[in-house]
Amino acid sequence: MARIAYDNWDAAAFAATRHLTDEGLSAWREAVTRHIDPRPGMRLLDLGSGTGHWAESFTGWFAAVEVVGVEPSEAMRARCVHQPMVAGEATRLPLADDSVDAAWMSTVIHHIPDLGVAARELRRVLRPGAPLLIRSAFAGRHQAISLFRYFPEAVRVLDTYPSVAEVETAFAAAGFETVAFGAVPQVTATSLRAAAAALRREAHTPLQLITDAEYAAGVARLRAAASTTTGAVVDALDLLVLR
């Protein structure tokens, strides 16, 4: 079960605000294509697809690739812009054995209640040698993410997320090996003012799990900084690649 419910309100906020700029997406396309060799007939799993933003991006980047989205939240699936999108969870994937050529998980790993079970399920559906790409904010690695600069109280939430080492250990038990790890800088917003205007608490798990007073203090910090700061907002999330 996810850390938050992802009901209609959460899903609407996510759909409205959690899309990267074109420049931000281009950084991830470059990072992804280092590990995925798109070819006709290839099948890519987008696990925890949300409203289908990444699935649609992959479909646009890799025209010959079939992108299958799996998402547990009915509210998210109802707002999905991509098909096929099916109901399912990381610990019980609705896919056949050895039926996937690559898998992508974006800001999902902290919602999985049992990493060991999820690792075995992904090992089951991925073909031998197929890559698993995990995009995430991991415990202890908040320094390059601007959200935590203005909401430092949310770091305590992030520190309850799995660490890189914990994920590697859980997936190693299922036969995965780490082949790459590193931060990917992305343009998250054209300006801090734009980021402040678009902010929705419901779209960010760490912000939902701090107190109302802490959230209000963070909004005040963000708005004060936005009034004087120029330039694009650049964050760096991690990409962990396993095979």
8-22, 38-52, 195-209: which has the minimum mean pLDDT? 8-22
User: Which pLDDT band, with edges at 50, 70 and 90, does 12 fall under?
Assistant: low
The answer on pLDDT for 1 being more than 50 is no
What structural domains does the chain harbor? 8-140+161-186+237-242 (3.40.50.150)
Supply the DSSP symbol for 89.
Answer: B
62-65: long-range contacts, CB 8 A cutoff, minimum separation 24: 62/36, 62/38, 64/38, 64/39, 64/40, 65/38, 65/39
- Which pLDDT score, from 0 to 100, does residue 11 have? 53
Percent of the chain with pLDDT over 90: 84
Of 170, 178, 139, which Cα lies nearest the Cα of 157? 139
The first and second tokens of residue 240, run together, are 């962990």
Q: Which amino acid is at 156?
A: R
Coil/strand/helix, residue 196? helix
19 falls in which pLDDT band (50, 70, 90)?
confident
User: Stretch 99-117: mean pLDDT, rounded?
Assistant: 97
Task: Sort 157 into a burial class: Cβ within 10 Å, 0-12 / 13-18 / 19+.
Answer: buried
Mean pLDDT, range 161-183, rounded to an integer: 98
Answer whether residue 105 shows pLDDT above 80: yes
